[in-house]
Amino acid sequence: MSDPKRVTAAVLIIGNEILSGRTKDANLPFLGTELNLMGIQMREARVVADIEEEVIDAVNTLRAKYDYVFTTGGIGPTHDDITSACVAKAFGQKLIRHPEAERILRARMTEMGVEATEARLKMAETPEFAELVDNPVSGAPGFRVENVYVMAGIPRIMQAMFEGAKGQLKGGVTLQSVTVGSYVPEGAIATELGLLQDAYPDLDIGSYPFFFDGKPGTNLVLRGPDQARLDEAAGRLGDLIRNLGQQPIEGGVEVPKSTD
C-alpha cells in the first residue's frame, strides 16, 4: 500500500452514454460513501469514452497511483463493451473465456430459458489471470486483476458485486468530518481560510458557498483522521468567523438543494 494509514482509491467510469448525458451515473456516490466507511479514501474519479487506448491509459495511470481502482461499465455483450479486453491489455495478459465464468453464465441462461449465444458468452471474457467477482443479480461476474476491480455499470448489479468484493479490501484510517457554517461570503473568508489550511496540512478543508434566505454564506467542511485536530481547527475557524462579524453555525447551514 502507498501509505500505511491512508488507503486510497479511484473510480474509472467507462461509457459514451455517461459522457453524452444519456445515463446519469449513480455508482460514484455509492462507492465514495461505502469506501470511506471502510477507511478507503476516494481520491480521483475519471469518465472515459469507449476508446481502447484511453481506457488502457486510464487503467494503467490509476492502478499505479492508488491502492485500489474500481471500473464500472463496459462488460456487457455488445460491440462497445470493451472494458475486459482493455484491462487485459493494460496488464499484458491474454483475454480468455474464463471457464468458471462461462459455466456460471450457461447455467443462468439455461435457468432463464435463453440461448447461450456468442454475444452473451462474451460476458465470460476476462484477462487470463483474473479472479472472479460474484454477481448474484444477473449472473455475469465481474473480476479482479491485482488492485483493479472490474464491475458492471448498472447500479444494482455494481452494488451487488461490490458487496461480494468487500471482504478482499483492506482499509486504513477512516476520516471524520466537522461542518461549520456561517453567513460570511466565501470571498470574505478566502484568505484566512487558506492560512488555516496551511496550518493544518493533515486536514482537508472544503468551502461550499450558498445564497439562502436573501443572504450569501459558506459551509466549511473539515475532514481528517484525528478528531482532536478537527475540533482544534474548527475552533480557530469559529474565531475567524466571529472576527468577520458573524456567528459560526455548528453542523452548517441547511440549504435547500434548489438554492445552492
DSSP string, 164-213: HHGGG----PPPEEEEEEES--HHHHHHHHHHHHHH-TTSEEEEEEEEET
Q: What is the pLDDT of residues 140-151, one digit of tens each?
A: 999 999 999 999
Q: Which of 21-25, 131-135, 173-177, 229-233 has the lowest mean pLDDT?
A: 173-177
The pLDDT of residue 180 is: 97
Backbone angles phi, psi at 234, to 5 degrees: -65, -35
Q: Please compute, for residue 10, the number of CA atoms within 13 A of its CA located in the half-sphere on the CB side.
A: 20
Closest CA to 171 of 8, 39, 37, 46: 39
Sign of the CA dihedral running 21, 28, 98, 95: positive
Is the whole-model pTM more than 0.85? Answer: no
Q: How confident is the model at residue 49 (pLDDT cuts 50, 70, 90)?
A: very high
Domains of the chain (ranges; CATH) run: 7-168 (3.40.980.10), 176-259 (3.30.70.260)
